[in-house]
Amino acid sequence: MSGPGPAAAIEEGRLPGRVWFYSTYACNLACTYCLTESAPGVPRRALDGATIVDLTRQAAALGFTDVGITGGEPFLNPDLPAVLAEVASVLPTVVLSNGTLFNDARLVALRPLAGLPIRIQISLDADEPEVNDAARGPDNFAKVVKAIPRLLDAGIGVRVATTIDGTPDPDAMARLCELHRSLGVADEDHVVRPVVRRGRARVRGEGIGVTPADLPAELTITADGAFWSPFGPTVTAGVLDTDLLVTRTTNPLRVPAEALLRLVEARPRGEDARTGIR
């Protein structure tokens, strides 16, 4: 039985409940497989904090159940902790981060978030520094393994995300799992996903090609418009990809939410999230 709007569709499992915000495309790293070609000095394409908070309130009213904030590196914005406090007071929130910016000052700024429904998802691709850092940059491994326990000690939930090009090596994966457990992150908070052939990975000929059928239809808001999935608003050779663009209108959120729902409902039966990449 199909209800008319996003709320009923989310309630009935026809539309994913998470809405994503690309807070910025800028990043202090330049990972080899980055979907958005993020790096220092790239166009920021930023959503300001007030917009994210406003759209989060609209998302809750439309029936969305949780929020994801990604980038770029969201924590480049010094106001992010305050924004997160407001967002998480409305909906549970996960923030994707490269985990390299959590110095003493930032940890202090994050303290008020302890106890709120916020988790920081930090990228860690290998248990060996040289393997991890080859894709993510010098000293990345050392900064991440230092940051994770400190965040947990500060009362902030942490997830670990591992991105792999090709078939995972079971032994390497076992060692990585041992490492994240030793850092205090449980198995259920470890996600493994493939490199997706978009953005910088596409230019380098890495990763797997995806279509909307491979990606859960998680409404994703950027400064450039609303997209089918957080894997949608990619940048290739400096140009924004629009093949997974839903609408340019992002406010009111009802416009892209209803357009996304129409696209989801128009899909052939069974063509939903073949790969389910998250």
Partner 1 sequence: MAPRITLVDADQAPLLVRHLFAGGDPGVIVGALATVPELAEVAVPFLGAALGPGSVEPQAKETVVLRTSVVLGCRYCVDARTVVALDLGLDARRVAALRETTPGERLEGVDDDTATLVAWTDAVALAKGPIADEVHVALARRYAEHQIVELLVTLGTTMLLNRLCTALSLPTSPETMARLAAEGFGP
- Residues contributing to the site for partner 1 (CB under 8 A): 212, 228, 239, 241-249, 255, 259, 262-263
Residue with tokens 């920021």: 44
Instruction: Give the shortest CB-265-to-partner 1 separation in angstroms.
Output: 13
Instruction: Give the shortest CB-261-to-partner 1 separation in angstroms.
Output: 12
Closest to 182 measured CA to CA, from 157, 233, 143, 145 = 145
Closer residue to partner 1 (CB): 60 or 255? 255
Report residue 213: phi and psi, to 5°.
Answer: -65, -20
Instruction: Give the shortest CB-203-to-partner 1 separation in angstroms.
Output: 15
Closer residue to partner 1 (CB): 170 or 268? 268
Task: Catalogue the E-assigned strands of 177-247.
Answer: 190-194, 220-222, 225-227, 235-236, 239-240, 245-247
Please list, in sequence order, all residues whose beta carbon lies within 8 angstroms of the beta carbon of residue 173, skipping any fewer than 6 positions away. 162, 192
Closer residue to partner 1 (CB): 20 or 228? 228
Instruction: Give the shortest CB-216-to-partner 1 separation in angstroms.
Output: 14
Query: Phi-psi category of 45—alpha, beta or left, where left has phi over 0 and alpha has psi -120 to 50?
Result: left
Closest to 94 measured CA to CA, from 124, 119, 60 = 119
Closer residue to partner 1 (CB): 144 or 257? 257
Closer residue to partner 1 (CB): 72 or 256? 256
- Give residue 94's identity as a one-letter amino acid code: V
Instruction: Give the shortest CB-235-to-partner 1 separation in angstroms.
Output: 12
